[in-house]
Structures are given as C-alpha cells and as structure tokens.
Chains A and B, each alone.
Chain A
Amino acid sequence: MDKTISINAPLRNDMVRQLKSGDHVEINGVVYAVRDAAHKRLIEMLDKGEELPFDIKDQIIYYVGPCPARPGHVIGSAGPTTSGRMDVYTPRLIELGLAGMIGKGLRSDEVVEAMRKFGAVYFGAVGGAGALLSKCIVSEEIAAFPELGPEALRKLVVRNFPAVVIIDSEGRDLYSSGRRRFQHVFAQNRKM
C-alpha cells in the first residue's frame, strides 16, 4: 500500500507542486463546500466586480452538497459530486488562486490547462462513500447563499479526510494511467 501524505488546507503553492498523481493524502483544515448553483453565483459576483464571500487564494473547494445532519451529528452524508459540471467555472477560480479541488470524475482540458499554468491539484474522494467521509468533517457552517439549501456555500473543517491525487499540477491524470494498467477491451466511439 502506498504511503499516505498528510496535508494542510489552505494549501500553499509549494505543496501543490510537490503532490503527484496517484499520491494518497489525508487533508486537514478548512475546505469550502461549493457545487453547481454556488459556483454560478461566485462567477456572477466576479462579473459584477464584487468581492467573493471568502478569499479563494490557496483554498481547497470540495464539490459536495451534504445531507442534513441528524441531531448530535456534525453533518449528514457528504461524499463528492461529479466535478465536470463545474468545469465551465473552474479555470477562472484557479486563476484567482484556487489551489485544490476535491471531487470525482473527469475534468476538461481547459481545467487541466489552468491547473498547469497557475498551479492547482485535483483530488478524488470515493464517490458514494458519503457516510464514511462525513466522519472526517468536524465542523460545518453556512458561509454564503443559505437560500440555496443543499447547494449553499459551506465552510467545513476536515480531519484526516482521505483522498487521492487524480490530476497533479503538471497535468498527469490517474484516471488514464490507472485505467491503462487494466484495460484490454476498447469501445468504438461512433458518431451519431
């Protein structure tokens, strides 16, 4: 088993550059839960020249819309959502200093290009392990857009949150390299 690297959030640029595709990590510190609707709001704020609800420099965004917490729990089930839906918004946030993203699934070429250019890393958490991952979240508060309900922007504090570096700041992608090791059937992708 590969060794696990403990990292702190916010994530400094020198740390971003050290992380390599395939590294197992545990994340500690503050991450911001932001998904579709809140991303759209952030970009609208930038378009209007407004200040974002949090300083995005060196931050990690977790693509998640958690379940409500049972009494006595910090948060409900809270696993990653599909990152690709945020691709249209992401390069601009990376340009402003966003250092890391936690999610699942493929990213666009534009996102990977921004990650290489400005230095950012894409972590994968296990999709569908929301009950397990919720145990690594030690506090939750709504930081903006409460009217968005499950899509509100949240400030989370995580402890030993397990993730894998999928795409590193040099653009290496674990989804392709991991798959190559096991693939022996190839689909014919046909045009309609």
Chain B
Amino acid sequence: MREIDVSHIIDTVERLCMQANYELNSDIMHALEEGINREGSDTGRRVLSELVENARIAARERIAICQDTGMAVVFIELGQDVHIKGGSLRDAVNEGVRRGYEKGFLRKSVVSDPFERVNTEDNTPAVIHYDIVEGDRIRVTVAPKGFGSENMSGLRMLKPSDGIEGVKAFILETVDKAGPNPCPPVVVGVGIGGTMEKAALLSKKALLRPVDRRNEDERISRLEEEMKELINGLGIGPAGLGGRLTALAVNMEVFPTHIAGLPVAVNISCHVTRHAEAVI
C-alpha cells in the first residue's frame, strides 16, 4: 500500500489545467502545419497559419489558446494499492481546478445549475471519471472541454441491422450538421458499443489519443482513415470557410454491446483538443 497525500493531487491538477490551456499538444501542432501545405483554399491556409501563430503566442505568453477554457473533464486512474490521505480525492481534484483556473487567468465557464445559471466563479465542479486499475500510482488526465464543439456532439442508438454503414452515416451526418460551429479542423471522437453512457464515455476518451495514432485494431484503424477521408470531402474546411481540411483525425473506440443494440456516440472537439496528463 502506497500513501499519497491529497496535496500532490491538488498541485498536479492545478499544473495540468494551465498546461492544457496554454500549450497546444505537439501532434495537433504538426497536423496544423502539415495542413497548411495540403489545404487547397487560400483562406483555409491563412486560417491554419493563424492557428499555428496563435498557439505560439499562447505558449510564449502563458495565456489560453482559446478563451473557452472549458469545463474541466478529469480522468483519474487510481491504482488499487494507493491509499489517499489528507482529504477526499474529489475535493482535491476540484481544489486543483479552482487554483489552476484562478492562478492561470483562465475563464470560469461553469454555472451552478442548468436552469438558474449562476457562475460558480472558480470553474468547479469538474466532471470526474474514475477508473480503478492495478498498481500503486495515480494517472491524472485533465481535458478541458469547450462547448462550441461539445454542443455539436451527438449520440444515437442504432439497430444491429444498421451495421457499419449506419455508423458511418451517423458520424458523417453529425459532422455535416455541425458545419463551421465547432471550430474546424476538428478531432472526431467516436465511441461504438457498450450502453448509452459507455458509448458517450468512449467517445470522450477517444479524444485523448494523439491525432497521429490509429486504433490498434486494424479493422477499426481502417475505418478511422475512411471516415477522415469522407469528412474531409464535406468541404467545410478550416474555420468552416470552405476547404479540404475539416478533420485532423477520427479516433474510434469500440466495446462489446448487447444483442439488441448498436450505440454510437460522436464527440466533436475543436482544433485545440486539450489534454495533459501526469502520473503520481
């Protein structure tokens, strides 16, 4: 049994909130830079160059890449041989978010109630997903999610007879309807199988995978490539102004499901697609 004090968790979450919001991940940066060479639209190339420049300014000045610094989605993989002392894990994560957003000059975008809509003024609570795993460490991933893209996401309970063609049609339809709204070029996270909430969670987790890494299952990896081609044929382009680069990647995760169902969730994420992780 290894003991970990909550102060370590607070410090880690605080740091990751800032890192995720200031530093564009290198896989995305490369994809944007490559996109400049391949984009067929002048305006599209201009937009991609501005996004690269924007990311450089943000990293240099330690300011947010985008003003929508998101609702903090935090994934905790807790080793079963860890004992947390000094307080509750949930409180520690929220304290880390509170400090990270306050000290980091990040926007507080959370309201206390969906109807009353009063700002909590510290960006808490975070949305926390816990997973108990083997070992004596804690892996913390902070993935702040902006709502321009979150609002364009969708889930559909398909029938088994809809099959792979039904899944492809739903993904394409979701990205098509989103059009310019989610700040393309986007990353498309797809969760297929499980139950309704499992598919949604898989689609969110899919966004944590770098855009240059395909699913290890070759069948799924081919489907990811095929969907990316199709999406880029929609013509939406950088900032939605028309062009070839609409999706930087399609990341899919699959899970066993029920004899009667084929759940599909599509979580659209903007070209910033923030996530930062650390192991304690």
Contact = CB atoms under 8 A, between A and B. Distances in A.
A67 B180 contact: no
B67 A79 contact: yes
Given A178-B243, A182-B237, A76 B65 contact: no
Interface in B43-59: 43, 46-47, 50-51, 53-55, 57-58
A128 B105 contact: no
A181 B169 CA distance: 22
Among A64, A104, A132, the most chain B Cβ lie within 10 Å of the Cβ of A132
B4 interface: no
A13 interface: no
B150 to A, nearest CB: 10
B271 interface: yes
Contact of B270 (A37, A128, A190): A128
Contacts of B231: 185
A184 B40 CA distance: 14
B121 interface: yes
Contacts, number: 190
Interface string A129-165: 1111011000000000000111100000000001010
A150 B40 contact: no
B241 A178 contact: yes
A106 B55 CA distance: 25
A137 to B, nearest CB: 11
B119 A77 contact: no
A86 interface: no
A158 to B, nearest CB: 15
Contacts of B230: 185
B66 interface: yes
Contacts of A130: 54, 64-68
Interface in A31-81: 37, 64-70, 73, 76-79, 81
B54 to A, nearest CB: 4
Interface in B168-216: 169, 172-173, 175-177, 179-181, 183
B41 A129 contact: no
A179 B236 contact: yes
B137 interface: no
Interface residues of A, number: 54
Nearest to B109: A150
A8 interface: no
B50 A179 contact: no
B234 A183 contact: yes
A67 B233 contact: no
A65 B109 CA distance: 9
A182 B180 contact: no
Contacts of B179: 105-106, 175, 179
B241 A189 contact: no
Interface string B238-265: 0111111000000000000000000000
Interface of A: 1-2, 37, 64-70, 73, 76-79, 81-82, 84, 104-106, 124, 126-132, 134-135, 148-151, 162, 164, 174-175, 177-190, 192
8 contacts: A64-B67, A65-B67, A76-B64, A126-B51, A131-B58, A150-B108, A180-B235, A182-B243
Identify the 4 closest CB pairs spanning chains A and B, nearest first: A178-B242, A183-B235, A185-B233, A182-B235
